[in-house]
Structure 1
Amino acid sequence: MNLPTHTTDLGHGIFAIDTGFERENFDAAYLIVDTGRAAFIDTGHNAAVPRLLEALDAIGLPREAVDWVIPTHVHLDHAGGAGLLMRHLPGARALIHPRGARHLIDPTALVEGARAVYGVEVVRQTYGTIEPIEAARVVESHDGQRIPLGSRELLLIDTPGHARHHHCIWDERSRGWFTGDTFGISYREFDGADGAWIFPSTTPVQFEPEALRSSVQRMMAMQPQCLYPTHFGRVDGVERLAAQFLATLDRFEADGLALLAHLPDDAPARLAALKEQVAATLVASALAAGCPVSPARAHELLALDIELNAQGMAVWLSRIGRTP
């Protein structure tokens, strides 16, 4: 099999496809192949679709062999290309969380939300025109749902915390979770002697620390041997990563609540302080984990995550600050 340079065979019929979003080794879509049938988990943005189709062609599968397109959630770096991809896959159905399905059938509100976070011009240049998915081809997932794929079965569970429209997918064959953003982000540039480093994604606008903690603990109950986060690629040593993830989440939550108490009525000052706190926490965590990067390089690689995590935490603090 002569795979394209952006496609990696991970074993168990699972292939990671670097979508090219933002930078290389940043955003992955996954292709699962079993006895002549296939499913895509996450799609990246529109510009990734040729890479996904090229991987399918290289493996030798016709496009009619794809049964499912499964975004983990509807944020555009995960699902922006789903509508365009579906146009090339005549037999596929889109399996989408019930809180997100309407947003891929009619992407208007989804695009407006992205514009509010990133700006109109950035969304236009980065994502292009988000193609809708025909309602008749959409299946809404439910917690505990099992779907067939060739000779294997995939399990979907509801995993809020990063977003309320998020589900994760369990593959018994590899004993791994396709985690989207629920189990955090792990960039390969940070891999050290002890393995991968991981951290929570608290991006706008539905970050809920307790729900996120519960989702990760629920996934850990399956005793996974590996994770397939969208950002980026397969990671092992899951018990160590879970401890790392939860410790950072605890720190984020404690620091955020302390800021809310200190600056109850000053949202702009809270956001500025959150950026500093998130940056300090992530860089310290990476260095403590033995990641082979300098503090300056860590800041550079994590710049977007620092900005978005701080924004998401600010939204969360504003929400709980209004709660009687």
Structure 2
Amino acid sequence: MDNVTPLGGDVYEIDTRMAGYSGITAGYLILGDRPCLVETGTSTSAPVVRDALTSLGVGAEDLATVVVTHIHLDHAGGVGDIAGFYPSAEIVVHEKGARHLADPSRLMKSARRVWGDKLDVLFGTLSPTDSARIRALGDTGEIDLGGGRTLSSHYSPGHAKHHVGLLDSRTGDLYVGDAAGVYLPETGDLRPATPPPDFDLDVALGSIATFSALGPQRLLFSHYGPVGEVAATLERSAEELQIWVDLTKRARDEGLDLDHAVAMVRDRTRERYSALRADDETAERFELLSGAPSNVGGILHWLNRVPEA
């Protein structure tokens, strides 16, 4: 299939074709003794992901595990659908997100408030998963991939309080979710992802430091794809966070409201990102992945919550 890319080490990148785009959200299949899907994508992407798994020889009873880095709908919106397609799969998530997969009503209500009518087009509806099938991870945990291979889970909040990074013991791949930001392979841009209500700069920088200390060989971004320059990329992640926070703080100190703060930060960061000077579709996709209003809103929420920041 043209949306499946082998990455070596029995790892396959799956373009979930979120909202009909290519290169928005990646799921990853680790095809070992106990096949594991990392990230489901959205609910509307679930059939695309199922078809990709079928093309790789994974049948309805073959998938052992589904694990999500966090429960935002672009990463975990398809969990309920995928759980239905693969009735033997265990669903793994951090303990702070587990109840929302079992009963998504509050999560969906909150998402509807943020996205309005766009919700149905972008994400669809997260269906509930039987709580008996959900395994809640603590701050560390392990997922058995078979043959002595494991995914170790490492709590990495800052982007979201229910976020984990996942390290493959065999390949050294680290699934970073959104904790290291959003990467656009066509342009090499790396931009923070700092949405409300959970963003916290110190915690986010601590998560990046945790990733660095794990010594990964490669970073697998959910948005989007593999990156081999690990140390330099994680340094950039921390730098971009600091730049966006400093600019947002300056806007707040000047008394700007949210719309004007967004305009200022967007203008002063524009030259950092080739995507925004590329074709309209690339720019639109980058803004959808890591929108300035969401990022600035999340940073302002943190600044107002932590006055000494």
Question: What's the TM-score once normalised by structure 2's chain length?
Answer: 0.92
Q: Secondary structure in 2 aligned to 1:94?
A: strand
Written as runs of structure 1 = structure 2, the 5 A alignment for 1:168-247 is: 168-190=165-187, 196-247=188-239
Q: CA deviation at 1:128?
A: 2.8
Cα pair 1:283 1:299 within 8 Å, conserved: no
Deviation per CA, 1:256-301: give whole Å up to 9, x if none: 22333332xxxxx3312332244235433235xxx7x736757544
Match of 2:272 in 1: 285
Tell me which amino acid in the other structure corresponds to 1:285: R
Instruction: Tell me which moved more, 124-133 or 13-22.
Output: 124-133
Match of 2:22 in 1: 24
Q: CA deviation at 1:171?
A: 0.8
Q: CA deviation at 1:66?
A: 1.2
Instruction: Tell me which moved more, 133-142 or 219-228.
Output: 219-228
Q: 1:282 to 1:5 in 2, by over 3 A?
A: farther
Match of 1:310 in 2: 296
Tell me which amino acid in the other structure corresponds to 1:39: C
Tell me which amino acid in the other structure corresponds to 1:311: G
Q: CA deviation at 1:317?
A: 2.8
Gaps of 5+ in 2: none
Q: 1:9 to 1:156 in 2, by over 3 A?
A: same
Q: CA deviation at 1:130?
A: 2.0
Q: CA separation in 2, counterparts of 1:315 and 1:179?
A: 23
Q: CA separation in 1, counterparts of 2:151 and 2:48?
A: 24
Match of 1:256 in 2: 248
Q: Secondary structure in 2 aligned to 1:275?
A: helix
Q: CA deviation at 1:247?
A: 1.2
Q: Secondary structure in 2 aligned to 1:100?
A: helix
Q: 1:34 to 1:281 in 2, by over 3 A?
A: farther
Q: Secondary structure in 2 aligned to 1:177?
A: strand
Q: Secondary structure in 2 aligned to 1:163?
A: coil
Tell me which amino acid in the other structure corresponds to 1:135: S
Count of residue pairs the alignment pairs up: 304
Tell me which amino acid in the other structure corresponds to 2:240: T
Tell me which amino acid in the other structure corresponds to 2:144: P
Cα pair 2:156 2:165 within 8 Å, conserved: yes
Q: CA separation in 2, counterparts of 1:250 and 1:182?
A: 14
Cα pair 2:249 2:300 within 8 Å, conserved: no
Q: CA separation in 2, counterparts of 1:278 and 1:172?
A: 40
Question: What's the TM-score once normalised by structure 1's chain length?
Answer: 0.88
